[in-house]
Amino acid sequence: MKSEYPMNHFLDIHKTSAADLHGIIDQAKAMKQARQGRPKGMLDDELPLAGQMVALIFEKPSTRTRISFDVGVRQMGGQSMVLSGKDMQLGHGETIADTARVMSRYVDLIMIRTFDETVLTEMAEYATVPVINGLTDRTHPCQIMADIQTYEEHRGPIKGKKVVWAGDGNNVCASFLHAAAQFGFDLTFTGPAQLDPEEEFVGLARRAGSKVVIERDAVKAVAGADLVVADTWVSMHDSQSSKERRHNMLRPYQINDALMAHAKEDALFMHCLPAHREEEVTSSVMDGPQSVIFDEAENRLHAQKAIMRWCLGL
Ligand code: CP
Ligand code: NVA
């Protein structure tokens, strides 16, 4: 697949070729292995980001994305700055295009977490340095790269496996659908019809040959699952006033021990975090033997280091 941009932006999983995505995962695994047991602040053996300046812009809260990108840049010998969108002129009327052109004169790589996807795409269009999607209302590709790495470390290739997404067909679910197309796994969505994933994303995965099933019955959906995934019922871009309505719709899709019992015996459980314990998932599942949630969180670091190297061609 040829990119529509003259440089390696990491905007969405379906916009990067499958070969490059596999290469990124392989590099993430190798880089993780290479620094096993090392203190977090110690440099990697190779320093591909030496001399590189990375800007990390957040228009929404973040714990994992903020810290893992910052640490990753430093471990690879680069320098990073964490910027809050609301403290920038960006939040006070300066256009995205002008911001992108200005920032490209100062930094070598931009990561942005924002609301509307068009902010990301406009940034990518006007920046003369690579841009990484650190989550929008619509997608969260870095998370899913870490999740693929995590699945494969525990269970081998994800190709041909059955992934079940339970709950809201949100931004993280969308990137799972993109990944289904690129990594060749099947995805069953179980949740209320009002919160189905976007038809465009379902169609994309199906056209690529993935089996995508929409199943309203959570027990039927989870049968034979290799991986069960949940996320918050109220995302950062959802209004707080919708909370009660969403909870009422989503309650039948809570991941608990009774539901997990219908998945394969060796099924894994994932959640991108932050989680709301006893809402979308019980603590018994989160802290149980099938859960790999903290490995996922750790792998954000390793996967994103590999993504940054790919963006910069280093
Ligand atoms: N999973 C994830 O992106 O977490 P943060 O919102 O803490 O960055
Ligand atoms: N769907 C969640 C993911 C958080 C990492 C949100 O957008 O708030």
pLDDT 10s per residue in the chain (314 long)?
Answer: 445 777 899 999 999 999 999 999 999 999 999 999 999 999 999 999 999 999 999 999 999 999 999 999 999 999 999 999 989 998 889 999 999 999 999 999 999 999 999 999 999 999 999 999 999 999 999 999 999 999 999 999 999 999 999 999 999 999 999 999 999 999 999 999 999 999 999 999 999 999 999 999 999 999 999 999 999 999 999 999 999 999 999 999 999 999 999 999 999 999 999 999 999 999 999 999 999 999 999 999 999 999 999 999 99
Give the ligand with the smallest distance to the CA of 175. 2
> In the prediction, which pLDDT does 5 show?
76
Q: Is the CB of 272 under 6 A from ligand 1?
A: yes
Q: How many A from CA of 65 to the centre of ligand 2? A: 11
> In the prediction, which pLDDT does 7 show?
86
Q: Which amino acid is at 290?
A: Q
- Closest C-alpha to ligand 1, atom 6: 62
Q: Is the CB of 272 under 6 A from ligand 2?
A: yes
Euclidean distance between CA atoms 133 and 121, whole angstroms: 9
Which residue in this structure is represented by tokens 């004169």?
105
> In the prediction, which pLDDT does 31 show?
98
Tokens of 166: 């339970």
Q: Which residues are catalytic?
A: 113, 140, 143, 231, 272, 300
Q: Which amino acid is at 57?
A: I
Burial class (CB in 10 A: 0-12, 13-18, 19+), 311: buried
Question: DSSP label at 113?
Answer: E
Can you say how many angstroms the Cα of residue 155 is from the centroid of all Cα atoms in its chain?
19
Give the ligand with the smallest distance to the CA of 113. 1
> In the prediction, which pLDDT does 1 show?
43
Q: How many A from CA of 68 to the centre of ligand 1? A: 10
> In the prediction, which pLDDT does 3 show?
57
Residue in 56, 60, 64, 139 to alter for ligand 1 test, most ligand atoms within 8 A of Cβ: 64
> In the prediction, which pLDDT does 27 show?
98
Q: How many helices (H) and strands (E) does the chain have?
A: 12, 9
267: left (phi over 0), alpha (psi -120 to 50) or beta: beta
Q: What are phi and psi of 114, to 5 degrees?
A: -145, 180
On whether the pTM is more than 0.95, the answer is yes
- Closest C-alpha to ligand 2, atom 7: 235
SS3 call for 290: coil
